[in-house]
Structure 1
Amino acid sequence: MYHCKLKINIFSTSSFLEEVLKKVPAKERFEHEFETLSSITLEKIKESNIAIIDVPSCYLPSQLREACEKENRLVYCLNKDETDLDLEAISQYFDDLWESPENAALTAFRFERLLTFIKSQKDLWLTENYLESGINSIPDLVWYKDVRGAHLKVNDAFCQAVGKTKKEVEGRGRYYIWDLKKEEYEKGEYVCLETEEIVLKERKTCLFDEKVKSKHGLRQFKTYKSPIFGDDGEPIGTVGVAHDVTDLENMGTEMEIILRSMPFSILVVGSDGLIINANERFEDYFKIKREEIVNHSYQEWRDKTLANSTLSENGKATEVVICKDGKECLLEIREEPIYDIFYNLAGRLYIYRDVTTERALEEQILYNSNTDFLTGLYNRRYFYEYVNQHRNNKPVSLIYVDLDHFKGINDSFGHQTGDEVLIATAELLKICFPEAFLTRLGGDEFLIMILGKCDISQLSMRVEWLLKEIDNKYLKTEKTSLPTASIGIAQTEDPDLSIDQLMRQSDLALYQAKQGGRNRYQIYTPDLMKK
C-alpha cells in the first residue's frame, strides 16, 4: 500500500557506521540509501530521513533539530570522552542516543530498533488513513466516543448533519455539537444518553430508534451502537452508526433499502414459513428470481437447494459445504428473528454469506503464524504453544539437530544454496520422523519432539539413519564441504521438568557431539554436566 525510501546520512570520518548499518535488512515496504559525510551541513541534515551525528558539530542541537523535518529522525553518537554531557537536556533534541560506534552488534541493534519505530509510525499512519477513508465513504453518520461522551472521531456525514467541522466536533460532547438548549439537555430530550448507558451495560451491539434535533430539524435515526473495549476487557467508549429514516415512506421501503444495501444474500421468511422477500445478491448467488420463490415454503426451497450438502454448527451460524459452478464453497447461514412492535415473532431473516475465501485466508494466516516460511516446519513460538497444549504429563523425547559448518555453505556457495540445504534437511526430518513434531528453531538448528514413551535404543537407530541420510543427500551433489549434522538427544518422564530444561539438556548433548568430532549424536546423561 505504501513504499518508503529512507535517505540515511551518516556524518562521520569513518566508514564503519555505514558498513554496519548496510547489513541491517530494510523493513517490509522500505529501502535504504546511505551516504557518509565527513562534516555537517544543515542542507544535508534537512534532506535526511535519518541523520546520524558522529562528528563534532559547529551547530547547536536546537539548530540541528530545527533543520529536520518533523517526521525525520536525528541520532547523536556519544564519544567516550563526552562524560560531562547533560543527557536529559540533549535528549530533547535527538530521537536516539548511541554509544560511539565501536560495537557493531550494539550499533546494528539500535539501528534496527529505530527502523522498527519508523515502520510502526508509518503503519499507524496507514491504519488511520484506512479508518478515515472508510468512515468518510459511508453515507450514514459514524462517530466514536469515550465513556464520558466526548466525540473522538466523526465522519463527513456527521459533520454535514450537525453543521460543524471535525475540528469543532472532536473532543466535544453532544450538548454543544447538536446545539441543544439547556432545558432539553437536562430533561434528556433528543440527548440519547440512555442508549449509550445501555450499550456499555449490555457490552454488545444494540439497535435503537432515536429522535435527534439537527440543523435540518427533528430527524429520526436507526442507530447501531457498539461498545469498544480496552486491553483489560472493560469498555472504553462506543462507536455508533446512524441511518436517517425520517423521509422513508414506510417500513417496507426501509426494509427494501436495507436488503439492497447489504453485501450478503438475504432471505426474509414470514411467521408462516413462507418466503416474503429476497435481495438481488440472493438472486445472483443462487441463480434464481425472487418471483420464483416468494410465497413458497422456505423449508422446501432449502431442502431442495442444499440437498446432499454437509452442514456443521459454528456458534450461532450454520456452515454448509455446497457445490457452486463446479467448485466446493463454504456457505455460512445466520438466522435472526424478526419481531413486531409488540415483540411477537413476525418472521425470520436468513443471511447467506460465502466464506470460502475468508476461511482459506484464516487458515493461511494461522499456518503462516505457526510455521517457518522457508522450510514449512513449525516455528519456535508455536513449539511452546503446542507443548503447553499437548504435553499433559507425557514422556518427552527431544532431538536437537545442528548442521556442521553451515556458515561455510553460505560463505562459499551463497545463501540460495544455504536455503536449499535447509529445505532438504527439513524434508529428511519429515521422512525419518513422520510422526514427530518438527521445529526449525532458527538458522541451521532443528528440534524433533516425540510425545509419549519412546525406547532410547530405537530412537538412536533412527537418529543414525537420519545422519546417514543427511550425509548421503549432500554427497550426491557436485559441491564440496557440504554439511553433516551433530545431534543431541534428551528424554524425560518427569512432568515437572520444564521443556526449557530438557532443551538445555539436549543442547548440552549436542555440544558434546560437536566436541567429539561432529557427524555423530550424543545422548544426554547427568555425567555430561560435569564435563
Structure 2
Amino acid sequence: MYRCKLAIKIFSRDDIWLSQIRKIEPLENFEYFPVVLSEFNPDEARKGDIVIIDVPVQESLANIRRLCKQNAFLIFCGSSGQADGLSKNDMESCSDIWMTPLSPQLVSFHFQQVFKQIKLRKDAYLTHTYLHTAMDSIPDLVWFKDIRGSHLKVNNAFCNAVGKTRSDVEGRGHYYIWDIEPDEYACGEYICLESEEMVLQARKTCVFDERVKSKQGMRQFKTYKSPLFDEDGELMGTVGVAHDVTDLGNMTVELEIILRSMPFAILVYDDKGRITDINRKFEEYFEVKPINVIGVDFEKWKKSILKNSKVNETGKIEVCLKNKGITRIVEISEEPIVDVFDSFIGKLCICRDVTTERTFEERLMLSANTDVLTGLYNRRYFYERIENCHAPQVSLLYVDLDNFKLINDLHGHQVGDDTLKTVGDILGFCCPDDLICRIGGDEFLIAMVEECNQRELEHKAAHILEEMQKVFDASENLKILSVSVGIAFSRDPKMHIDQLIKQSDLALLSAKRSGKAQYCVYTDELQNLVDRRGR
C-alpha cells in the first residue's frame, strides 16, 4: 500500500559506503537513494531519512539531531574513544553508534539492521493507523481488554456510549467506565464481566445478549467477544464488538437495517428462489419498488432485467443500467446464506457499482494505445490490431509531411505540435473508417483491412493531398508544407506487416525524390531500381 524512498545522507571520506549499499537487496516497498559527501552539510542532513556522521563536525550531535527530520535515523561513526567522549545529550540524540574501523561486512550488516528497523517502524505505524481507522469507522462499540479487565483500546462509538473520552477510558475497569457500583451490578441483570470469563475459558469467539447501563439509559447489545493470545499461545486479553439492538424488534429488522445501510445494491432470495428483500440502493439502481419484486422468482427476474449482460474476467455478471440520465456498470455476485446448521437457506445478491473502475480501465487502455499529442492510435496499437485482424488484404498509406522541420525551426515547437494535431484531424476526416496511427515524428500510417484495388487507394491518397494542401495554403505559417504518400498493399497472408511497411516507405521515398507533394505506389520495379541505386 506504500512506497518508501529512503534518502541516505552519508558524511564520510571513505569510499566503502556506496558499493556496500548497492549490494543490499531493497526490502519490499522500499527504495534506497544514498549520497556520500566528504564534508558535513546541514542542508543535506535536513533531507535525510538516514544521516551518518563519519567526519569531524563542529556541531554537536544534539544540534544535528534538531536539524534532521523528526523520525530520521542519526548514526555516529567513530572509535571507542570518540564514542566515550560524547556527552550524554549527544549519545541520546543518536539512533545508533557504529564503531570504526568498519569492514564491508559490518557496513552491510549495520545497514540491513537499520533498514529492518525502519520497515518495522513503518509497518507498525501503518498497522496502528489501520486499526484506529477501522475501529473508528465502525458504528458498533469496539474495545480491547487485558487479562485483568482493563480497557486498553476503545473506539469513538464506545466513548460516545459511556460519555467519556478515550484517555479517560483506556486503562480503567468496567465499574468506572459504565458508572456502576459493584452492588448495583450484582443486583441487576448484567453479565458483562461473567461473559468475559466465559470467553477466556472457552478460548473462542462467543456471542452474548447483554444489558448495559449507558448515558442514554439501559441498552441491549448483541456482543461478540473473542480471546486474544500472545505469541506463546497464552491468553492475554479479549476483544469485543457490541451492536446496539435495543430498538430492534427481531433479527429480521436487524437484517433490514444492515441491508439499508450497505453502500451496494442488495437483493435477498430464499432457498426456493423467491425474492424476499431488496435495499434502497437496489431500488435506485434497477428502478423497482419492493412491492413489484418481493415474492418474484429470482431467475425469471434476472432474465428479464439482465438481457444485455456479460460475464467479466472474474466470472461475475456485469450489466449496464441507465436510469434518470445516469449510466452505471454494475457487477453482480451471489453469496450463499446458511443457517447455524450450515443448511442453505438462500442467497445474497450483491450489485456493486464498478463504473469508475471500468472507466479508469478504459482510460488506461486508451492511454496505452493512443498518441498523446494527436489522439490517434500509436505504433503499439497498430501492430496489435494488424497482426490479429486476419484480413484478406492489407493496404497501407504511409503519410509524411514535407519540410516539417522548417516549421519547428521558424515558428517553434508549439506551432509544430499544433500542425501535427491538424494533420491528424484531416486524416480522420479523409479516412473515417480506416485505422490511422502516428508512428513517430511527422509520419503517419493509414491501414485498410478490406479488399480494394489500386485505383481506390490512389484516389484516397489524392484526396488526402488535396485536403492537406487546402489547409496549408490557407495558413501563412504552413504554406511551406506539403504531404507525400507511399502506397503499398498485399493479399499475401504470409507477408509480415513489417515487410508491407517497408514497401510503403519505399514508395514514400520515391514520391519525395520525385519532387514531393505527390503519392507513389510500390511496385517490384521500384524495388529493383532502389536495389541498383542503393539507398
**TM-score (normalised: structure 2):** 0.51
Deviation at 1:370, TM superposition (A): 1.3
Conservation of the 8 A alpha-carbon contact between 1:269 and 1:298: no
CA change 1:130–1:504 in 2 (3 A) is farther
CA change 1:251–1:401 in 2 (3 A) is same
Tell me if 1:382 matches 2:381: yes
In 2, distance between residues paired with 1:461 and 1:417? 30
- Structure 2 residue aligned with 1:330: 329
CA change 1:368–1:129 in 2 (3 A) is farther
Letter in 2 for 1:266: I
Counting only pairs closer than 5 Å after superposition, residues 34-433 of structure 1 correspond to structure 2 as 43=41, 46=44, 135-136=130-131, 139=134, 213-214=228-229, 217=235, 259=259, 262-279=262-279, 281-282=281-282, 296-299=294-297, 303=301, 310-315=307-312, 316-340=315-339, 343-391=342-390, 394-433=392-431
Conservation of the 8 A alpha-carbon contact between 2:473 and 2:479: no
Q: Which runs of 5+ in 1 are unaligned?
A: 1-39, 50-61, 72-88, 93-127, 141-156, 165-188, 191-209, 221-242
- Structure 1 residue aligned with 2:177: none
CA change 1:133–1:442 in 2 (3 A) is farther
CA change 1:335–1:480 in 2 (3 A) is closer
CA change 1:366–1:134 in 2 (3 A) is farther
Which residue, out of 499, 513, 516, partners 1:515? 513
In 1, distance between residues paired with 2:410 and 2:143? 64
**Per-residue CA shift, 1:186-220, capped at 9, x if unaligned?**
xxx99xxxxxxxxxxxxxxxxxxx98752594999
Which residue, out of 440, 443, 448, partners 1:442? 440
Letter in 2 for 1:314: V
**Per-residue CA shift, 1:407-451, capped at 9, x if unaligned?**
221232233322222122112222322332111112211011122
- Structure 1 residue aligned with 2:531: 529
Secondary structure, in 3 states, of the residue corresponding to 2:308? strand
CA change 1:395–1:307 in 2 (3 A) is closer
- Structure 1 residue aligned with 2:25: none
Q: Which runs of 5+ in 2 are unaligned?
A: 1-37, 48-53, 56-63, 73-103, 108-122, 136-141, 153-202, 205-224
Letter in 2 for 1:526: Q
Conservation of the 8 A alpha-carbon contact between 1:211 and 1:218: no
**Per-residue CA shift, 1:452-491, capped at 9, x if unaligned?**
4332233123212211221111101233544111222222
Deviation at 1:369, TM superposition (A): 1.9
Letter in 2 for 1:407: K
In 1, distance between residues paired with 2:490 and 2:146? 69
Conservation of the 8 A alpha-carbon contact between 1:219 and 1:244: no
In 2, distance between residues paired with 1:441 and 1:498? 17
Letter in 2 for 1:139: A
**Per-residue CA shift, 1:34-73, capped at 9, x if unaligned?**
xxxxxx9865993999xxxxxxxxxxxx98xxx9x999xx
Which residue, out of 485, 502, 510, partners 2:500? 502
Conservation of the 8 A alpha-carbon contact between 1:265 and 1:282: yes
- Structure 2 residue aligned with 1:465: 463
Secondary structure, in 3 states, of the residue corresponding to 1:381? helix
Letter in 2 for 1:312: S
CA change 1:214–1:514 in 2 (3 A) is same
CA change 1:461–1:301 in 2 (3 A) is closer
Conservation of the 8 A alpha-carbon contact between 2:407 and 2:478: no
Secondary structure, in 3 states, of the residue corresponding to 2:446? strand
Conservation of the 8 A alpha-carbon contact between 2:285 and 2:321: no
In 1, distance between residues paired with 2:345 and 2:254? 16
In 2, distance between residues paired with 1:404 and 1:361? 38
Letter in 1 for 2:501: M
Task: Tell me the matched-pair count.
Answer: 345
CA change 1:302–1:368 in 2 (3 A) is farther
Conservation of the 8 A alpha-carbon contact between 1:306 and 1:322: no
CA change 1:318–1:510 in 2 (3 A) is same
**Per-residue CA shift, 1:271-318, capped at 9, x if unaligned?**
24444455564466568887x689x31448985x99777531324444
Conservation of the 8 A alpha-carbon contact between 2:393 and 2:491: yes
Secondary structure, in 3 states, of the residue corresponding to 1:390? coil
CA change 1:522–1:161 in 2 (3 A) is farther
- Structure 1 residue aligned with 2:491: 493
| RMSD over equivalenced CA pairs, Å | 5.2
**TM-score (normalised: structure 1):** 0.51
In 1, distance between residues paired with 2:527 and 2:323? 62
Deviation at 1:158, TM superposition (A): 13
Deviation at 1:402, TM superposition (A): 1.1
Deviation at 1:258, TM superposition (A): 6.8
Deviation at 1:509, TM superposition (A): 2.6
Deviation at 1:373, TM superposition (A): 2.3
| Of 245-254 and 501-510, the range deviating more from structure 2 | 245-254
Secondary structure, in 3 states, of the residue corresponding to 1:347? strand
